[in-house]
Amino acid sequence: MKPVITFCVLFFGLTFFLAGQEKIDYDAIAKMKSEGMENSQIEMIASYLTDVSGPRLTNSPGLMRASEWAVEEMKKWGLKNVALEPWGEFGKGWQVDKSYVAMTEPYYMPFIAVPKAWTGSTSGLVSGEVMLVDIQTEEDLEKYRGKLNGKIVLVADDYDVTATFEADGNRYTDEELKEMEKYPSQNGGSGDYSARYARYRAMREFRNKVNDFMASENAALIISARRGRHGTFFTSNGASYAPGSEVATAEFEMAPEYTNMMKRLLAKGIPVKLEAEIRTSFYEDDIKGYNVIGEIPGTDKNLKDEVVMIGGHLDSWHAGTGATDNASGCAVMLEALRIIKTLGLQPKRTIRVALWTGEEQGIHGSRNYVKNHFGDSETMALKPEHEKLSAYYNIDNGTGRIRGVYLQGNEGARPVFASWFSAMSDIIETPTITIRNTGGTDHLGFDAVGLPGFQFIQDEVEYNTRTHHTNMDVYDRLEIDDLKQMATVIAIITYHTAQRPEKMPRESIPVVTGSN
C-alpha cells in the first residue's frame, strides 16, 4: 500500500505544481467577468433561439429560422467566416401546422398532447370511439389484423404517475461533487452506451413494425402514452425521416394522466369518444443537414492556423422550444464569443463556434463535421486539420451553472483546468475535475478520433424531471443567472486555450479494432 500512497501524493503534488505554471491573464479575466455578468446579452440570444424561432426539429423551418438568425447576429458582432456549412444528407424536414385533440364522451375534456415527429396528417377532423390495443410483441399484431380500419387506436403503455415527494430541481452538493472527483475509472462514468443503444435500436425497430402495421390496417389515428407527470411528458424519437420513406399514420403522444383515464373508463365498459385533427408538413427540397459556423480569427503568425472550437446542438425536439436542450448551450457559446469580441481581445489561435444539427437523431452534425475535417473514427484515417485543433468544448446538460469538467480520461488536461478554475473561484462553487467520461452528445465525435473534447459538469436543475425532451422545455425553464455564469466561464477557458503556448494535452490516438 505504501508505494501507492507515495505515488498519489507525488501525483497530486505535481498536479498543483503544474497548475501554478499555467499562465493566467487576470486582467482579461476581470474584463470578461464584468462583461459576462453585468452586460450580458444571454436573455436576448436565448429568447430569439426559442420564443422567436420556435421548435427546431432537424431540417424544419424553425431550425432554419434559428440558424439564419445566428448567422446574421454573428455577422453583426464582426465574426468572420460565418456560414451554414453542409455536413451531409439528413432527410426530410417536418413541422406541425395544426394540433387538436379532446375527449367528447362521456364528457368534454381537452387533452395535453403533441403529434409524434415525422408522422402524417389525419383526414381532416376525425372523431369516433377509442379502441384500446395491447401490443407487446410482433405476435400481438395478428390479434388486430382486419380490426383497425378507420379506428382511433389507443396504445397505452403503463407509466408511473404517483407523487415522488422529491424536488423537481436540484443542484449538486459538495459531497456529490467530491464523490464524482474520486471516481476511480475513466470508463465508468459514461455507462454502457453500446448496450443502451442496442436496446434503443431494438425498441425503434419494433415500434417501426407497429407503425407499419397501423398504416397497412388504415387506422385513422394513434394515441400513445409517454413518460411524465403533472402534464409534463417526454417525447420519443419519431417516425422515419429518410428520403422516400412512407408517411407514418398520424399519431399523438399524450400525457399519461389522460391515457390512464381513458383506460379506466374503457375497463368499466364506458365508451370513450375523441375528436382530433393533425396537420403536418414535410420538406424534401433540400435534404442536407447544415451546421452554423463562425470564427474570431487568430492573430499570432505562428498559431493563427490552429483552432479552439466551442459548440452545442441547435436542433431540438418539437413539443416545446428546446430551451434547456439545447438553446441554452448554443446561447452560452454565442455569448462567450460575443464577450471576447466585444472586449477587443486578440486570441492567438482562431476561435470557432459550431451550432450542430441532427444531434437528437444520432449526433449526426458533429460526427460528420469531425469526419469531414479531422478524421474517420472507423478507419482512423486522419486529415491535416486534425493536428491543428487544440480542443473542443461542449455544453449540453441543461440550464444549470458549470461546476467543473469531465476529463474524458484525459488526465493530462487536469492541471490546466485546475489552474483556470483557481482563477474563477468566485463564480464556480466547488470546482470539480473528474476523470469520468460523459456521453450522449457532440464532444464524442472529437474524442473518438483522439482530439480533446470536453463536456462540463452542470447542476441538473430540472433537466431530468421537467425539461429534457418535454413539452415544458421552454424559455421560462431557463436559469438566466446560471447561463451568465456559464458563458463567462466558457469565454475565459476558450480565450486561455487560444493563448497557451501549446495545444491542450491529448490522449493517444484510438486504435481501430480488427485493423491490420
Model pLDDT for residues 163-175, shown as the tens digit of each residue: 999 999 999 999 9
308 and 417 assigned to the same domain: yes
424 and 456 assigned to the same domain: yes
The alpha carbon of residue 173 and the mean position of all alpha carbons in its chain are separated, in whole angstroms, by 24
Does 22 have pLDDT greater than 80?
Answer: yes
292 and 251 assigned to the same domain: no
Q: Average the pLDDT over 223-250 and give the result.
A: 94
Q: Which pLDDT belongs to residue 2? A: 36
30 and 120 assigned to the same domain: no
Domain boundary among 219, 248, 283: 283
User: Which range, of 7-21, 36-50, 213-227, 460-474, averages the lowest pLDDT?
Assistant: 7-21
Model pLDDT for residues 426-448, shown as the tens digit of each residue: 999 899 999 999 989 999 999 99
Q: Which pLDDT belongs to residue 327? A: 98
Q: Predicted confidence band at 515 (pLDDT cuts at 50, 70, 90)?
A: very low
Does 406 have pLDDT greater than 80?
Answer: yes
- pTM check: above 0.85: yes
User: Which range, of 88-102, 129-143, 307-321, averages the lowest pLDDT?
Assistant: 129-143
- The letter for the amino acid at 450 is G
Q: Average the pLDDT over 345-369 and give the result.
A: 97
Q: Average the pLDDT over 437-460 and give the result.
A: 96
Q: Which three cell numbers stand for residue 228?
A: 411524465
242 and 390 assigned to the same domain: no
What's the mean pLDDT when you consider all of the chain?
A: 92
* SS3 assignment, position 13: helix
Domain boundary among 242, 267, 283: 283
Number of structural domains in the chain: 2
In contact, 408 and 454? CB cutoff 8 Å = yes
145 and 204 assigned to the same domain: yes
**In which domain, by residue range, is 215 found?**
94-170+193-283
275 and 308 assigned to the same domain: no
Q: Predicted confidence band at 510 (pLDDT cuts at 50, 70, 90)?
A: confident
Q: Predicted confidence band at 228 (pLDDT cuts at 50, 70, 90)?
A: very high
Q: Which pLDDT belongs to residue 331? A: 98
For residue 417, which phi and psi values (nearest 5 degrees)? -65, -35
Burial of 119 (0-12, 13-18, 19+ CB in 10 A): buried
* Max mean pLDDT range (174-183, 197-206, 256-265): 256-265
Query: Would you say residue 175 lies in a domain?
Result: no
Give dist(CA 132, CA 188) in Å, integer: 42
Reported as type and span, the H/E element at residue 31 is helix 26-38
Q: Which pLDDT belongs to residue 211? A: 81
Query: Would you say residue 449 lies in a domain?
Result: yes
Q: Which pLDDT belongs to residue 486? A: 98
**Residue 246 CB contacts under 8 Å (≥ 6 apart), including other chains:** 212, 215, 240
Query: Would you say residue 399 lies in a domain?
Result: yes
Specify the CATH number for the domain of residue 35. Answer: 3.40.630.10
Domain boundary among 255, 283, 311: 283
Does 82 have pLDDT greater than 70?
Answer: yes
Residue ranges with strand state E in 185-250: 221-225, 228-229, 232-233
Q: Which pLDDT belongs to residue 183? A: 66
Give dist(CA 391, CA 329) in Å, integer: 17
Q: Average the pLDDT over 362-381 and give the result.
A: 97
Q: Which pLDDT belongs to residue 242? A: 95
Q: Which pLDDT belongs to residue 136? A: 86
129 and 278 assigned to the same domain: yes
Q: Predicted confidence band at 205 (pLDDT cuts at 50, 70, 90)?
A: confident
The DSSP call for residue 475 is: G
- Which tops the pLDDT comparison, 256 or 187? 256
Model pLDDT for residues 3-19, shown as the tens digit of each residue: 333 333 333 344 444 44
Does 278 have pLDDT greater than 90?
Answer: yes
144 and 234 assigned to the same domain: yes
Does 454 have pLDDT greater than 90?
Answer: yes
Specify the CATH number for the domain of residue 256. Answer: 3.50.30.30
Q: Average the pLDDT over 409-437 and give the result.
A: 96
Helical axes 480-499 vs 414-422, angle rounded to 10°: 120
Model pLDDT for residues 43-68, shown as the tens digit of each residue: 999 999 999 999 999 999 999 999 99
Dihedral sign (CA 420, 423, 426, 432)? positive
Q: Predicted confidence band at 423 (pLDDT cuts at 50, 70, 90)?
A: very high
Q: Which pLDDT belongs to residue 514? A: 57
